[in-house]
Amino acid sequence: MYSRTVTITDPAGLHARSASEFVRSANRFSSMITIGKASEEKRVSAKSIVMVMSVGAGNGSKIELSAEGADEREAVDFLAQLLATGPGEATGAA
């Protein structure tokens, strides 16, 4: 298992459009990926738009990403960068 904590910097937070891009990106990886607020124990599937939206991650929220599987490090690092920089700004192959 590999985990990272990242701070949401998008002024609108993890809103519908950015959450949709995040979920599309998460689904490109084979690992099981979870997301949740770092201050809470609840973790949900990062591959479900409904679950990701239920996290309620606003600007400044600290988010913990975890993954388990063959590409866990690549998945978490890519998705962490996507959350930290906003939609369309992450670099690297997913």
Render the burial of 10-28: b for 16+ CB within 10 Å, e for the rest.
beebbeeebbeebbebbee
15 is catalytic: yes
Q: Indicate which residue of 7, 9, 13, 15 is catalytic.
A: 15
Strand segments, DSSP code E, in 1-94 are: 2-7, 32-37, 44-45, 62-68
Give catalytic residue positions.
15
